[in-house]
């Protein structure tokens, strides 16, 4: 099939590469000329496991091409996917749809034959109808707008896109349903995982999923803080809870709070939508509040451990990305942790396998001079009064603790992801503090 994808971010580039890999003829557009130039030169603007070889292979096979022209994308695809960003707009938390509407208008202006316009971006209920109005103002060609929210996880995006748990297709147009069924059929060889519904339900499904997942994290963080107070071990509680099939073991991990490019903005957007319709989503609102507080849980523990005497101390930080296997630092807990510690007068030595440069650029001029980004994780711990594990990259799971103890100014470990064994570390002479244990 002839497919266009608008946007070369985590969703657009992955979707384009995977559709091409399944034999489709794909043209991928982005208004950011730097990104397109860099992709054409063989350097992807994002890190995502398995993506680089997939792009290279399909470009070489002639099935995947890139352009800076949305007009060209409008002319190429029988199906045109919109995968542009929908960040938070302003202080009320609403989603900024301007990138999407701008792309829709451009596509509308240049349509030369009937097309299916598929919205993959996460958007408030009613957006498919708004895109339909924008397109109608620009074109006389017949078209249908379909909502097809994306559920891939950064860090496993290629695999998730190739093997989706479900594919939600929101449209009441029969022909569009059949075309998208044909497109996605090869992704569902074992069993049909397509769920058809109306566009509004599809749009809400995406927010409901993210709100539920964020709530699950905040629930566990709330419980973990109680476990700290009552002297229970949240890791045992978690295993006990997760063994109930109604609860399940996945996504039940306490930590330093969620971040990333999706949960925080999507939670804000669904709360705003609810307000617009006269509802208060009490549970989701609490999940957001708990999360903001949880991002500073390690700072509170450090202040307590050092009797509020943080100024002049050096802290090592392992992990800056909002989660492992990505270079994405948007709303990463590490940003808030490090900014707060620097405001307390601390110096930071930090390491991340992929996200270092993005993180340094995001820190801000007033904070960055107090932070040193290092290439070797052990260097981050050298001379440190404490080491904070913020993002659980695999390489941090079994470090050489003896080496750490020898080089740290004080052997204290603050494990924000409950990755390490307290008994082992206390046996080695460390002070150890986890989350809820
Ligand atoms: P991103 O910010 O990484 O990429 C968006 C891209 O769109 C950028 O490269 C930008 O230059 C481009 N763009 C903006 N306006 C454009 C226009 N008018 N024409 C062409 N290109 C334009 O975003 P992302 O993380 O890929 O997310 C895209 C959407 O998918 C968002 O709505 C997001 O909520 C949703 N989503 C993201 C994820 C994820 O894990 N990142 C998962 C599911 C859904």
Q: Output the pLDDT for position 91.
A: 85
Q: Output the pLDDT for position 90.
A: 83
Name, in order, each residue with C-beta under 8 angstroms of 308's C-beta and a sequence gap of 6 or more.
none
Rounded CA gap, 180 and 116, in Å?
Answer: 9
Q: Say what percent of the chain tops pLDDT 70.
A: 100
**3-state secondary structure at position 171:** coil
Q: What is the pLDDT of residues 208-243, one digit of tens each?
A: 999 999 999 999 999 999 999 999 999 999 999 999
Q: Say what percent of the chain tops pLDDT 90.
A: 97
Distance 281 CA to ligand 1 centre (A): 26
pTM of the complete model = 0.95
Atom of ligand 1 nearest to the CA of 12: 26
Q: Which residues of 115-132 are buried (b: 16+ CB within 10 A; e: fewer)?
A: bbbbbbbbbbbebbebbb
Q: Average pLDDT over the chain, rounded to whole?
A: 97
Atom of ligand 1 nearest to the CA of 120: 30
**3-state secondary structure at position 65:** strand
- Residue of 188, 209, 262, 371 with catalytic role: 262
Rounded CA gap, 378 and 382, in Å?
Answer: 6
Q: Which residues line ligand 1 (CB under 6 A)?
A: 6-12, 29-32, 35, 70, 83-86, 99, 102-103, 120-122, 150, 152, 154, 261-262
- Known catalytic residue at 209: no
196 DSSP β-pair partners: 169
- In this predicted structure, the answer to whether residue 80 has a pLDDT above a threshold of 90 is yes
Name the DSSP letter for residue 120. -
- In this predicted structure, the answer to whether residue 102 has a pLDDT above a threshold of 90 is yes
Q: What is the pLDDT of residues 395-434, one digit of tens each?
A: 999 999 999 999 999 999 999 999 999 999 999 999 999 9
Q: Which two tokens stand for residue 185?
A: 């059929």
Nearest to 377, CA basis, from 414, 348, 411, 350: 350
Is residue 269 within 8 A of residue 207, CB to CB? The reply is: yes
Q: What is the pLDDT of residues 125-158, one digit of tens each?
A: 999 999 999 999 999 999 999 999 999 999 999 9
Ranges of H-type helices in 306-398: 333-343, 356-363, 377-381
């Amino acid at each position: 099939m002839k497919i266009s994808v608008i946007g070369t971010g985590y969703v657009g580039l992955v979707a384009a590469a995977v559709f091409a890999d399944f034999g489709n003829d794909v043209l991928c557009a982005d208004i950011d000329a730097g990104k397109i130039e860099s992709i054409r030169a063989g350097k992807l603007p994002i890190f995502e496991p398995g993506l680089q070889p997939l792009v290279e292979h399909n470009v070489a096979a002639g099935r995947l091409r890139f352009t800076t022209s949305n007009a060209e994308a409008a002319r190429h695809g029988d199906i045109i996917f919109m995968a542009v960003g929908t960040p938070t707009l302003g202080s009320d938390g609403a989603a900024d749809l301007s990138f999407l509407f701008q792309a829709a208008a451009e596509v509308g202006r240049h349509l030369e034959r009937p097309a299916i316009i598929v919205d993959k971006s996460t958007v408030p209920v009613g957006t498919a109808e708004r895109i339909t109005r924008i397109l109608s103002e620009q074109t006389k060609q017949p078209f249908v707008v379909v909502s097809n929210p994306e559920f891939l996880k950064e860090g496993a995006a290629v695999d998730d896109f190739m093997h989706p748990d479900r594919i939600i297709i929101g449209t009441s147009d029969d022909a569009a349903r059949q075309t998208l069924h044909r497109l996605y059929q090869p992704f569902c060889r074992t069993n049909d995982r397509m769920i058809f519904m109306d566009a509004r339900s599809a749009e809400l499904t995406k927010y409901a999923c993210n709100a539920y997942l964020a709530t699950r994290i905040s629930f566990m963080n709330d419980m973990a803080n109680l476990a700290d107070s009552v002297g229970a071990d949240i890791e045992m509680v978690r295993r006990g809870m997760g063994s109930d099939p109604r609860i399940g073991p996945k996504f039940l991990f306490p930590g330093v709070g969620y971040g990333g490019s999706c949960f925080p903005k999507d939670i804000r957007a669904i709360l705003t939508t609810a307000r617009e319709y006269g509802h208060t989503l009490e549970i989701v609102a609490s999940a957001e509040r708990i999360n903001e507080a949880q991002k500073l849980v390690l700072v509170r523990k450090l202040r307590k451990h050092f009797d509020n005497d943080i100024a002049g101390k050096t802290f090592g930080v392992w992990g800056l990305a909002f989660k492992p296997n990505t270079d994405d630092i948007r709303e990463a807990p590490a940003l808030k942790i490090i900014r707060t510690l620097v405001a307390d007068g601390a110096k930071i030595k930090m390491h991340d396998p992929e996200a270092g440069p993005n993180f340094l650029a995001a820190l801000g001029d007033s904070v960055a001079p107090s932070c040193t980004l290092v290439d070797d994780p052990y260097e981050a711990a050298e001379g440190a009064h404490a080491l904070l594990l913020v993002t659980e990259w695999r390489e941090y799971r079994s470090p050489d603790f003896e080496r750490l103890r020898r080089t740290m100014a004080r052997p204290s470990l603050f494990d924000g992801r409950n990755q390490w064994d307290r008994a082992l570390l206390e046996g080695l002479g460390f002070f150890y503090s986890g989350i809820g244990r």
